[in-house]
Structure 1
Amino acid sequence: MGNNNEVFIEEIFNASPEKVFSAWTDPVKLMKWYAPDGCTIHFKKIKIETGGQFHSCISNPQYGDCWCIGEYKEVSPNTKIVFTLINADENGNPINPAEIGMDPDWPGATLVTVTFTEENGKTKLQLRQTVSQELAKKTGAYPSWLQMLNNMQTILNLN
């Protein structure tokens, strides 16, 4: 189980680990679901492999653009993805979240771990992020993950 010092989300997907993993590692698929409701994402660069990096922008019609950079620390086919998530600017330089109007308690860099486990032909996905769940709920990061995973459910059901 997770503790309150970290975000912990567990969801069951009615799809194989291969399909769920592919939704996380194929940039074309990622663009279809990897943004909260009402937002869009685009990548300035993305290389999904161990040691690969990304530079992404989530556009929110209400609040504008939110840039992130990160590195894939581990990409193990159909089982695990670990990456850093760092608030950044358009040029890929890390920035202090407070400077862009985020909660001053929010860490500028977090580690996200996603694991995929097969259970009776379905996939149990577990997502952890190294930030307090309470803070993630307060800032909207936690509901954003839930919306994104819900979007992914929808896409997997279409394919």
Structure 2
Amino acid sequence: MNKTTFAADKNKLTVTRIFDASIDLVWRTWTEPELLDQWWAPKPWRSVTKSMDFKEGGKRHYAMVGPNEEEHWCITTYNTISRHNDFTGEDAFTDKEGKINKDFPVSEFHNRFVEESGQTVVTIVSEYDSEEHLQQVIDMGMKEGLSMAFDNLDEYIKNQFKLRNELKKNNYPRVTTYLNFPGNTEEAFTFYKSVFKAEFNGKGIQRFGDLPPEADHPPVSESVKKMVLHVELPILGGHVLMATDAPKEMGFTLNQGNNMHICLEPDTREETQRLFDELSRDGNITMPLQDMFFGSFFGECSDKYGINWMFNFKLEN
């Protein structure tokens, strides 16, 4: 495990840690509250963000909550931000309403992110008003707490954010193309695979018969069990082509025009709902948004111009 290093120089403290992940991944864990709360507090404490606006002049107001529900409130103010490079600001202790507690030191920080050979080096330089103030936070256990928090982040990265979908291991937003076939998906995607000289993602072709028997879905015939439930093929520029068989045995009727969707995979449930509501307005909802047995908040619609849209937000188990 990568260890945290500390170097004190008068009223400045420099902290360095290497994380085994891309700079984009590490940057997200520092700048998105849902991810930041997963690792920021040393166990058995937890981090709870009350509000966060990651922009220049924005603030994060959060609590470190202990095992007995005791709370220590803090606020981070963001002064400058250079995406994937660095951000600066101030850290202070506050009360629950955000009023700064002047009994504790305030620090000015500069967080830098550098990618090296697929890893990310994070360097934090914190400056206090005096050496005494720096020593005060060290005596409060700042070094130990930060080391433990970074250990949490290491573990969090190894668990791939604890999202358990084998093909899309995170909720990064993306746009893909989803195709429906009447029963010849495997034939079509074998052709596309040869054209693009690519390999299927994940376990390859998944069939209706692969669905676990306890899943909440209607039973299918033996012939349908052999059909393709889902397949993904990367083609050009990172774009992914996806498909499923839509057999008439399951009530599908495919025509030219309804066999292709633009598939949106937003990074939050709220954004999924917003996009669905906006695009379906004055259009046609073909499948309302709902939690599905395959672990997604899923729906389909065509907009007022006749364009087909699919929405897929991966749920956590």
Partner of 2:110: 113
Q: Structure 2 vs 1, CA of residues 71 and 138 (structure 1 numbering), >3 Å: closer, same or farther? A: same
Partner of 1:126: 123
Q: Does 1:89 align with 2:89?
A: no
Cα distance, 1:5 vs. partner?
A: 2.2
Q: Contact 1:4 / 1:134 at 8 angstroms: preserved in 2?
A: no
So what's the TM-score if we normalise by structure 2? 0.44
Q: Contact 1:74 / 1:81 at 8 angstroms: preserved in 2?
A: yes
Q: Contact 1:13 / 1:123 at 8 angstroms: preserved in 2?
A: yes
Partner of 1:103: none
Amino acid at match of 1:151: N
Q: Summarize the alignment of residues 32-51 of structure 1 with structure 2, pairs less than 5 Å apart.
A: 32-51=38-57
Partner of 2:25: 19
Report the Cα distance in structure 2 between the residues aligned to 1:34 and 1:75, rounded to whole angstroms: 20
Greater relative CO, 1 or 2 (CA 8 Å, sep 6+): 1
Q: Does 1:61 align with 2:58?
A: no
Cα distance, 1:71 vs. partner?
A: 1.1
SS at 1:18 equivalent: helix
Q: Structure 2 vs 1, CA of residues 5 and 63 (structure 1 numbering), >3 Å: closer, same or farther? A: farther
Partner of 2:142: 141
Report the Cα distance in structure 2 between the residues aligned to 1:157 and 1:53, rounded to whole angstroms: 29
Report the Cα distance in structure 1 between the residues aligned to 2:8 and 2:117, rounded to whole angstroms: 23
Cα distance, 1:70 vs. partner?
A: 2.6
Unmatched runs of 5 consecutive residues or more in structure 2: 1-6, 161-317
Partner of 2:14: 8
Amino acid at match of 1:13: F
Once the two structures are superposed, residues 93-136 of structure 1 have per-residue CA deviations (whole angstroms, 9 ceiling, x without a partner) of: 11123xxxxxxxx41x1112211111112111111222455443
Larger radius of gyration: 2
Unmatched runs of 5 consecutive residues or more in structure 1: 98-105
Cα distance, 1:2 vs. partner?
A: 5.5
Cα distance, 1:63 vs. partner?
A: 8.3
Higher helix share: 1
Q: Summarize the alignment of residues 143-158 of structure 1 with structure 2, pairs less than 5 Å apart.
A: 143-158=144-159
Q: Quick one: which of 34, 37, 41 aligns to 1:31?
A: 37
The alignment yields a C-alpha RMSD, in angstroms, of 1.8
SS at 2:38 equivalent: helix
Q: State, as a whole percentage, how many aligned pairs show the same letter.
A: 22
Amino acid at match of 1:120: S
Moved over 6 A (4+): none
Cα distance, 1:30 vs. partner?
A: 0.5
Amino acid at match of 1:146: S
Once the two structures are superposed, residues 10-39 of structure 1 have per-residue CA deviations (whole angstroms, 9 ceiling, x without a partner) of: 111111111111100111100100112211
Amino acid at match of 1:136: V
Report the Cα distance in structure 2 between the residues aligned to 1:4 and 1:96, rounded to whole angstroms: 21
So what's the TM-score if we normalise by structure 1? 0.85
